[in-house]
């Protein structure tokens, strides 16, 4: 089941935005994945798992395997409780770890 929620105005007041400091990123997709014809087998659905520097982990929904996969998966992290100097340093120097998982049958 998938639920889509839309709002006709901002969900956070300016005060909450400042306090919570939301950071949004989007996992768009992956390309040049192995094809079934190249590998000689069938693949299970694929997903992306990402780990943010603070330890937060996310996982996209599974989608059918193809050479090009698109998720357009958006995630929001509330960074307001993090030290702003450390947050800026971490964003500039520590990449988010992203991996996709391919299973061949």
For 33-81, what is each residue's pLDDT tens digit?
877 665 566 778 888 888 887 788 888 898 888 888 899 888 888 888 8
Instruction: Please count the other Cβ atoms lying within 10 Å of the Cβ belonging to residue 90.
Output: 17
pLDDT at 93 over 60: yes
Q: What pairs with residue 22 in β-bridges?
A: 78
Q: What is the pLDDT of residue 30?
A: 85
Residue 95 has what pLDDT?
72
> The CATH number of the domain where 94 resides is what?
2.60.40.150
Output the pTM of the full model: 0.67
Query: Residue 92 is part of which domain span?
Result: 14-101
Domain-embedded: residue 37: yes
- Number of domains forming the structure of the chain: 1
What's residue 15's pLDDT?
92
Is residue 26 one of the residues assigned to a domain? Answer: yes
The answer to whether residue 9 is domain-embedded is: no
């Amino acid at each position: 089941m998938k639920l889509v929620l839309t709002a006709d105005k901002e969900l956070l007041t300016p005060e909450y935005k400042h306090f919570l400091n939301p950071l949004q990123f989007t996992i768009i997709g992956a390309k040049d994945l192995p094809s079934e014809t190249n590998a000689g087998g069938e693949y299970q659905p694929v997903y992306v798992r990402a780990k943010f520097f603070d330890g937060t982990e996310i996982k996209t929904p599974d989608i059918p395997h193809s050479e090009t996969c698109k998720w357009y998966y958006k995630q929001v992290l509330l960074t307001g409780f993090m030290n702003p100097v450390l947050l800026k340093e971490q964003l500039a120097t520590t990449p988010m770890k992203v991996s996709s998982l391919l299973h061949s049958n």
